[in-house]
Amino acid sequence: MYKLYSDAAIKPQSHQCGIGILIVHKQEQLQIKKQCKAKDNHVGEFKACIEALKVLQHHLRHSGKIPGNVTVLYYTDSSILSDSINKQYAKHYQKYIDQIIELESHFAFVLTKWIPDNQNMGAHELAFQALHSS
């Protein structure tokens, strides 16, 4: 079982977005930080989820594992993201939900769970670092 965390940090005036991704498996952690553009924090959170699922899929394949045999516990501190994934619907963000559904289909099972900010500090710090690294 893999635990996957993501978070986004944004500069609204420039639309710069930092994405933090944390993959935890057994006693190992993989930390990733990336930059992208996002018009607001909600879009940033959806993009962070998409990127996290892509990164995990790539990591598994690179490690010789088959994503279709892997269960993922995905954690986010964004309630709109968590609710939208679980409903498989988001009025203003459906194109992102459709991408997430497609990416999740490559894994055996993905369970999305909302967590409070203070339980997502690893991904949060990575997102903040990515945002301020340029």
Q: Which residues contact 94 (CB under 8 A, 6 or more apart)?
A: none
Query: What pLDDT was estimated at residue 127?
Result: 98
Q: First-to-last CA distance in the chain? A: 34
Give the β-pairing of 109-114 and 71-76: parallel
- pLDDT of 24 over the 70 cut: yes
Write down the pLDDT at residue 134.
60
pLDDT value at residue 59: 96
Task: Check residue 79 and give its pLDDT.
Answer: 97
Q: What is the pTM of this model?
A: 0.96
- What confidence category does residue 116 fall into, taking pLDDT thresholds of 50, 70 and 90? very high
Please name the residues in contact with 66: beta carbons below 8 A apart, sequence gap of 6 or more.
Answer: 60
CATH topology of domain 2-22+32-131: Nucleotidyltransferase; domain 5 (3.30.420)
pLDDT given for residue 114 in this prediction:
98
pLDDT in tens, 38-87: 999 999 999 999 999 999 999 999 999 999 999 999 999 999 999 999 99
Chain segment 81-109, per-residue pLDDT in tens: 999 999 999 999 999 999 999 999 999 99
